[in-house]
Amino acid sequence: MATYASKTQAEKDLVAAFERDFRGWLNQLASLLISARALQASNDAPNSVATIVDDLGIGETIPNTSGISGAQGLTEADWETLTVAMDNFITATDTPTLRQAIAQAAGHTAGL
């Protein structure tokens, strides 16, 4: 088995370039996780967004008020699909082991 020191400079440069981008991506992943947790808490709170949306009639559309160009209205079914995806993201990534690994890779700026 090789050691890092035994790798060529070209190999080390390739790893270093990937590492910089990967650590930046992990930092962004940590930010997304923090935002997702806050959104999930807001959506799931008593008398919250989920309660309001669940009460909508079939086919009722929640208009796009985000100001995001090209974004469209969402039906209750769309909302459910997207919030379940957010919940799945949190379940898959919000573990002590992964948070520790992200913090190790991305540093204190990860905010986890």
* Residues 55-109: tens digit of each pLDDT: 888 889 999 999 999 999 999 889 999 999 999 999 999 999 999 999 999 887 7
Q: Is the pTM of this model over 0.95?
A: no
Residue 25 · residue 65 · CB < 8 Å:
no
Instruction: For the beta carbon of residue 87, count every other beta carbon within 10 angstroms.
Output: 15
- Inform me whether the pLDDT recorded for 110 exceeds 80: no
The whole-angstrom separation of Cα 61 and Cα 74 is: 5
User: What are 35-60's pLDDT values in tens digits?
Assistant: 999 999 999 888 888 889 888 888 89
Cα distances (angstroms) measured from residue 73 to each of 31, 49, 60: 26, 16, 10
What is the per-residue pLDDT across 11-25, written as a single tens digit (0 to 9) for each?
999 999 999 999 999
Spatial distance between the Cα atoms of 73 and 110, rounded to a whole number of angstroms:
32
pLDDT at 65: 95
pLDDT band at 112; cut points 50, 70, 90? low
The CA-based dihedral angle spanning residues 35, 41, 47, 49, taken in that order and rounded to the nearest 10 degrees: 30
Domain map of the chain by residue range? 33-110
Cα-only R_g, the chain: 20
111: CB partners within 8 A, 6+ apart: 30, 31, 34
